[in-house]
Chains A and B, each alone.
Chain A
Amino acid sequence: MSEETKIGPQEVRHMAELSRLEVSSEEEHVFAGQFAEIIGYMDVLQEVDVTGIAPLYSPVSHESRAREDQVQSVRSHAEILANAPKADENYFIVPKIV
């Protein structure tokens, strides 16, 4: 692992926070060890010379084609709300925000 990339319980807590996840104090230590090993392994990339190489984010070779926007009714309110953990006839329900 590069000198500047240290993974300890504090970094694990930060990664969890970014991910909207919680880690127990026991997990913090397990993950810290595993992450240090995994991210350390990723450092193999530091040795690859990528000067002048453009990133490849997708292997798609065809050009995206634009289309006209069309108003369509694809699915009903009831169908969409059917999987909600909590809903009334029209809305998803979450805890009070303001």
Chain B
Amino acid sequence: MSELFYATLSSVWDLLQKKEVSASELTQLCLKRLETTEPKLGAMLTVDAEGALEQAKTLDRQGPDPNCPLWGVPVTVKDVILTRGLTTTAGSRMLENFVPPYDAFVVERLRKAGAIILGKANMDEFAMGSTTENSAYHAAHNPWDVQKVPGGSSGGSAVSVAAGQCFASLGTDTGGSIRQPAALCGCVGMKPTYGRVSRYGVIAYGSSLDQVGPLARSVSDCARVLGVIAGHDPRDATSSPCAVPDYLTALASNGDLNGVRFGLPKEFYGAGLASDVAAACEKTLQCLREAGAESVEVSLPHTHAAIATYYIIAMAEASSNLARYDGVRYGYRSQNITDLESLYVKSRTEGFGQEVRRRIMLGAFVLSSGYYDAYYKKAAQVRRIIRDEYLAALDSCDVLLCPVSPVTAWPLGQHANDPLKMYLMDAYTLSLNLAGLPGLSLPVALAASGLPIGMQIIGKAFSEAQLFSLGQAMENLLPAIGQPKL
């Protein structure tokens, strides 16, 4: 059972159902894997060994349930998602001792499906960052090369999946935070359509952009997890009443690439794309064409304005959302206070890290009197243009296909003092969140450096089944990248 930790979720689920392995054995295997790999990787903020083993024991006593698609499967959950009774920090000192009194909707769903929650995955503070270096606790490291970043903000989730610490993880994606770490760590990540998954119990960053989604080691595993967490929830008014298809059934009728029209947004293949990433994309396209797919050039003309649009909206929403951290009802309270005003100011100043403070202040600026129209309102108008351009592009093809990150994983610390440069790294991911559309990031190759390269398939709203089906066809077609050597 030595390499079982690298097996797919679907295959261990089969083993569990046949009682060839017990939930307790599998949980112990993952805990052991965490113990040996965490000193190098830092993927987790909290490991709940006791709780996980207890849950596994209960499940084993009850016996396998074929109606529970995650029965006995150990998973990790990004620390921005509330877990009842289990500390949830959002990667911030502000919430260092916060123990949620309730589960997020997606966690309720995980538990009902029989999943075992191993612990909470590391992340950039309040999901603000692209490397997981902004975690207030410790950085996470890329399992393919521990000197490199794993991406972010769901870096801990991607690392825990890629390193075989768990069989799937839940992340959140506000501007690429599932797709980019999945690409940099060589796993599969799905950012669902805005509204597909309830945000109830997810600590808010950009409320019109945030979406929870799965990371796993295969497309089918991602589909299985999304099937569990998707659906309407009356506690989140933005969650969609649109019916959830059976994603696994959609995959059973093996996706055919023959005649599929892949749209290639020309703005995503231009200057700024590293040569090894460009070459991997070209090679992938060649394989797809050989399998009978077609490619057509499409255009998203306002791509150059997307980064500015995104950061204005995200920061504005962040400054409003993070106003709730006032040191009164929960979270950090400064000891250094004289009156109510200083309680607010000192608690927030001491509790938030620098990037979070930067985004709150910039958000307050773009919403402030005299600047609101020029920045926030203007960005919302450009957002509509960007969304409409996506929809128009998707009218001339079946799906879009493009790189996820312009470069492979970079060294830790590289952009630490240059926030703007870091924002520019999100160029290929964040416009999707502005448009609210779904995107599936999957590994397509290893670069000569030994680091993974990912591409994303983008579809119309609520086309996740189609993305999974095409993603699985690509997965079958392309040579597997293997696992990191740890």
- Tell me the A residues contacting B by CB distance below 8 Å: 2, 5, 11-12, 15-16, 18-23, 31, 34-35, 37-39, 41-46, 48, 50, 53-62, 64, 67, 75, 79-80, 82-86, 92, 94-97
Contact = CB atoms under 8 A, between A and B. Distances in A.
A48 B343 contact: no
A34 B330 CA distance: 31
Interface stretch (B109-117, B282-290, B358-366, B442-450): B358-366
Given A37-B420, A42-B375, A44-B304, A15 B362 contact: yes
A31 B365 CA distance: 13
A34 B365 contact: no
A35 B343 contact: no
28 contacts: A11-B365, A15-B368, A19-B363, A20-B323, A20-B344, A21-B352, A22-B346, A34-B419, A35-B358, A38-B362, A38-B419, A38-B420, A48-B382, A50-B381, A54-B381, A54-B384, A58-B436, A59-B208, A59-B434, A59-B436, A75-B102, A82-B101, A83-B98, A83-B101, A83-B330, A95-B337, A95-B340, A96-B339
A95 B384 contact: no
Contact of B329 (A22, A37, A39, A92): A92
B331 A62 contact: no
Contact of A34 (B312, B344, B420): B420
Interface of B is mostly: helix
A65 to B, nearest CB: 8
Given A18-B364, A20-B348, A41-B420, A48 B194 contact: no
Nearest to B242: A62
Contacts of B332: 85
Interface stretch (B41-49, B163-171, B232-240, B272-280): B232-240
Contacts of A11: 365
Given A22-B349, A48-B382, A54-B381, A83 B99 contact: yes
Nearest to A53: B381
A37 B362 CA distance: 12
A81 B276 CA distance: 54
A45 B143 CA distance: 39
Nearest to A66: B237
A51 B434 CA distance: 20
Contacts of B194: 58-60
Interface in B330-389: 330-333, 337-340, 343-346, 348-349, 352, 357-358, 360-366, 368, 371, 374-375, 377-385, 387
Given A80-B101, A97-B340, A55 B377 contact: yes
B311 A20 contact: no
Nearest to B386: A56
Given A35-B361, A45-B309, A48-B385, 13 more contacts: A11-B365, A15-B368, A20-B345, A21-B348, A22-B349, A41-B420, A53-B384, A57-B208, A59-B195, A59-B387, A60-B240, A62-B241, A85-B331
A22 B238 CA distance: 34
